[in-house]
Amino acid sequence: MGNSIQKRNDYKGIEKQRGKKEYNMKKAVTLFLLCLTLGLSIFNDAQAAQENPEPEIKGKMVYHTYSSYEAQDSKLYVYDFSSKENRCISEELTGVTDAMNGDFGSESDEIIFMGISVQYNEWHIYRYNLKSRKLTDLTPGNEYSYQDPKYSPDGKKIVYKRGKWDNKRNTMVYDIVEKNLSDLSQIKLTNDVYEDSMPYYSMDGKKVYYARGVRKNSAIYSVTTSEPHRISKVYGANNICSYYPITDGNGSLYFSKWYSAQNETDQIMEMKTDTKSIKSLAFNSKDYNCSDACPVFGEYMIISSTKAGGQGNYDLYIVNKNSGAMWSLNNYNQTINDANHQLGASFLEK
């Protein structure tokens, strides 16, 4: 009886050891397979990166970042793709808060932007020299609100959105205004009851494209810079927001629009200004926003996108408009994208 019990216990011990060895073997195999899968994934990612590397960029980019528009905590940055310096312009400014929507002219040492004047507690347009750090208020006073500045192609003029409270309509009324930087004279290009905003010059400077209306009533228009200022509707769709027009040097007009009245996700469209043909660009998706087109060179542009896998909210990407390839600008500098919104890029090639 005693020998039988001892043999049974010995058998149980052997089975226990065998089970433990089998468990350890399964655990080791599972761990090996996980490591192999991870290794293959890293190898594939590295191989894909080698086969499709981000493009080499030479030039400067100005952009802004904020936690939300309402928070009034926007900061303006200038990033140099050659030196890798990401310079916070807002830290150099006095008397201005919430700086955003910067733009390069024909020179890489000067930008314009909009910011809230501490003195007047109103949106003003500023010119800033990146070398001398000289700040100039181009729209002093508190009669109007000034926003969305853009340089003319030759850098001698700027165009912007100007607004004033209308007691009869009980709302703000905004028009598009052009200012000559040599004598600071200005011309009102539009004069209507709609909100006109986000102006951008055609490459010959003879037209200004802009958005008329807001949200589902927004459409793309153009106005001639010479008198009489002829206004034409360029693009619009019922109950679909169309806004943020931008041109390049190759006869294309880009703008953002919703996918549909039911899907307010932004996509970037390209319209050929000669034929009026229009298409959605390859990187667009109904699952995330692609906004704020900024042509760089050739088929490449910088955009703001909410694509999954980023730092959170809107991130800046360099994209290929034809292939649809997208690269985070953190591939160039880890300080560009963060948990805030990165928006409104403007680029000057050098």
Q: Tens digit of pLDDT for each residue in 161-173?
A: 999 999 988 999 9
Q: Rounded to 5 degrees, what angle do the CA atoms 13, 15, 18 make?
A: 110
Backbone phi, psi, residue 29, to 5°? -65, -45
Q: Rounded to 5 degrees, what angle do the CA atoms 195, 346, 334 make?
A: 125
Whether pLDDT at 236 is above 80: yes
Top-confidence residue, 44 or 140? 140
**Is 10 a member of any domain?**
yes
Provide the domain limits for residue 25: 1-48
| Residue whose pair of structure tokens reads 């087109």 in the numeric block | 293
Nearest to 254 by CA among 265, 267, 264: 267
Return d(Cα 348, Cα 78) in angstroms, integer: 11
Return d(Cα 223, Cα 207) in angstroms, integer: 6
What pairs with residue 104 in β-bridges? 111
Q: How sure is the predictor about 38, in pLDDT bands with cuts at 50, 70 and 90?
A: very low
What is the pLDDT averaged over residues 110-117?
A: 98
Which range has the worst mean pLDDT, 8-17, 24-33, 53-62, 252-261?
8-17
Q: How sure is the predictor about 3, in pLDDT bands with cuts at 50, 70 and 90?
A: low
The pLDDT score that the predictor gives to residue 44 is: 41
Backbone phi, psi, residue 210, to 5°? -160, 170
Q: How many structural domains is the chain composed of?
A: 1
The pLDDT score that the predictor gives to residue 189 is: 98
**Is 18 a member of any domain?**
yes
In angstroms, the Cα distances linking 109 to 60, 168, 182, 308 are 10, 43, 18, 35
**Is 251 a member of any domain?**
no
**Is 20 a member of any domain?**
yes
User: What pTM was computed for the model?
Assistant: 0.85
Return d(Cα 110, Cα 100) in angstroms, integer: 15
**Is 22 a member of any domain?**
yes
**Is 123 a member of any domain?**
no
**Is 26 a member of any domain?**
yes
Average pLDDT, the chain: 89
**What region, left, alpha or beta, does residue 133 occupy, with left being phi > 0 and alpha being psi -120 to 50 degrees?**
left
Q: How sure is the predictor about 309, in pLDDT bands with cuts at 50, 70 and 90?
A: very high
Structure tokens at 314: 């809107």
The pLDDT score that the predictor gives to residue 112 is: 98
Write out pLDDT tens, residues 245-275: 999 989 999 999 999 999 999 999 999 999 9
Backbone phi, psi, residue 26, to 5°? -65, -40
**Is 246 a member of any domain?**
no
245 contact partners, CB below 8 Å, separation of at least 6:
198, 200, 209, 210, 211, 220, 234, 253, 254, 255
Whether pLDDT at 289 is above 70: yes
Whether pLDDT at 117 is above 90: yes
